[in-house]
Amino acid sequence: MKNVQISQDLFCDLILYHLYSNPSAEEAIRRELSRKLDAMICHERFTQYKTAATEAEREQARQRYLESIGMPAGFRW
């Protein structure tokens, strides 16, 4: 299993929410965890693109990566 780093603000919000039952931090936690999950997915897709075995798999992984970051489908660098 891999380790995941989170910001200090998110960590503090999690502590407030779970240990002190502070529901006001819930929306911030949801927003930051969603942002973190999106970043992890983008990183995983980029890694798949860079380590693909064949050219066809690489192109397919590149398209998935570009879609996940919001680039146009026909973008070529």
Burial call 38-53: b when 16+ CB within 10 Å, e when fewer: eeeeeeebbebbeeee
**Confidence (pTM):** 0.75
d(CA 22, CA 40): 27
pLDDT the model gives residue 31: 95
pLDDT tens digits along 10-68: 999 999 999 999 888 899 999 999 999 999 999 999 999 999 999 999 989 988 888 88
